Chains A and B, each alone.
Chain A
Amino acid sequence: QVQLVQSGAEVKKPGSSVKVSCTASGGAFSSYAIIWVRQAPGQGLQWMGGIIPMFATPVYAQEFQGRVTITTDESTSTAYMELSSLTSNDTAVYYCGRDKVWGATTRLDYWGQGTLVTVSS
């Protein structure tokens, strides 16, 4: 059974960066897409980007280009999402998810528990 465990809640100052981790267990890591989605309070889901570890080339949503970096560490089966130049608009729950189809980036079959990032001065 695949499980995704995310790092804990963060409180950040405007202008700073945050790095959220997502550790996978229960299955192969390298061949399956890890996707990052966020949800602002009371709002819908927003795709941020994703990566298939074995290809190591992330894809980012245009609205986050230049501010988001998605990386992986295959030795620990962990994916990271770093978001810089934070503003209050970045206050949200950040989710990682994984596709169960080998080598594909089509959907999120498995989800982490979410990480609340609060940006406040």
Chain B
Amino acid sequence: DIQMTQSPSYLSASVGDRVNITCQANQYISNYLNWYQQKPGKAPKLLISDASNLETGVPSRFSGSGSGTDFTFTISSLQPEDIATYYCQQYDNVQFTFGPGTKVDIK
């Protein structure tokens, strides 16, 4: 089974800061990696698909990169509305795995 790790598990940053979250797979997954944002009490929302494709309507301050086993999710300028938990998710041969999540807070 493919396992995903994310770091950090929690981060606190100031408005306007650049924020990076990393996600690592324990085996090669090409670019089969998506990123979601989940706000408290809400269903997750897909932000980035296939490692780097920004979904329609998602602000351009969000971006993703990476391939193989190492991936990065970036918020270029953190906004108050970005307070949420972010999850990576891989798909391989119809099997999904989510990362454990990164909680992002405003300092």
Contacts and interface: CB of A to CB of B under 8 A. Distances in A.
A112 B44 CA distance: 10
Contacts of A97: 43
A53 interface: no
How many B residues are at the interface, by size bracket?
Answer: 20 to 34
B44 A111 contact: yes
B43 A44 contact: no
A62 B96 CA distance: 11
A119 B32 CA distance: 35
Nearest to A6: B43
Given A44-B100, A107-B34, A107-B49, A59 B95 contact: yes
Interface string A96-112: 01000000011111011
Contacts of B64: none
Secondary structure of the B contact surface, majority rule: strand
Contacts of B100: 44
B98 A44 contact: yes
B1 A105 contact: no
Nearest to B55: A109
A95 B98 contact: no
Contact of A113 (B1, B43, B89, B95): B43
A45 interface: yes
Contacts of B45: 111
Interface centre among A35, A62, A107, A108 (most CB of B within 10 A): A107
B29 to A, nearest CB: 11
Interface in B16-52: 32, 34, 36, 38, 43-46, 49-50
Interface of B: 1, 32, 34, 36, 38, 43-46, 49-50, 55, 85, 87, 89, 91, 94-101
Interface of A: 35, 37, 44-47, 50, 59, 61-62, 95, 97, 105-109, 111-114
